[in-house]
Amino acid sequence: MTGLGQTVAIGLIIAAKFGLPLLILRFPFAAGWTNFFLDSFDGDVLIPLGLPNDIYQPVDKVTDWMTYVAIVAFAFRRVWPTRRLMLGLFLYRSVGQITFLVTGNELALAFFPNFLEPLFLVTITILTFERVVRTAPDWQERGFAILYRYRWLIGGVIVVYKLVDEYITHVGNIDRSELLQRLLGG
């Protein structure tokens, strides 16, 4: 890829990183999951394309924070029963985000894990399933009843997943692409 092609690719990916969080307010399921997948591999693409890590990290953290703001705004706008929990998780992660941006110490991100985004994705997935598949008029109440009934299981899975993910990403600094290749034997 040429220098111009690399610059265009970097620009498009960064534009997507800034645009997707805003789309969560209108298309929470599609934009939330697309944002999650983009955020999972963007560094593995942007840095090899030539974006310096010292530019990538602040851009990534600012766009992550925009995602968290959109999630909380969506939850409050829809008056979700979990909105206060989501606000608390947002504030908790914000401490880590701000500490990282000020100090550059990635351990701040590991000490203040992002539990908010997986909670949102699980919630919006269950609610979307209830609305689209079951098509019952009380789909939202049914969805939150499922979340409440399985709250300890869902919460436990989110906590374990995020602690492992934060370790891989911010403590071990393990490249996800290489880890996946190793796990798959490639």
- Give the C-alpha separation, 104 to 163, whole Å: 20
111 burial via Cβ count (<10 Å: 0-12, 13-18, 19+)? middle
Nearest to 97 by CA among 82, 78, 117: 117
Alpha-helix runs per DSSP H in 50-82: 53-77
Give the per-residue pLDDT at 186.
Answer: 65
Cα atoms found within 13 Å of the Cα of residue 157, Cβ hemisphere only? 9
- Give the C-alpha separation, 121 to 186, whole Å: 30
Per-residue pLDDT of 33-88, as tens digits, reads 999 999 988 988 899 889 898 899 999 999 999 999 999 999 999 999 999 999 99
- Give the C-alpha separation, 121 to 125, whole Å: 6
Per-residue pLDDT of 121-148, as tens digits, reads 999 999 999 988 877 788 889 999 999 9
pLDDT at 156 over 90: yes
pLDDT at 110 over 90: yes
pLDDT at 1 over 80: no
Q: Give the phi and the psi of residue 180 in degrees, each rounded to 5.
A: -65, -40
Alpha-helix runs per DSSP H in 24-115: 28-49, 53-77, 83-103, 107-111
Percent of the chain with pLDDT over 90: 68
This prediction has a pTM of: 0.90
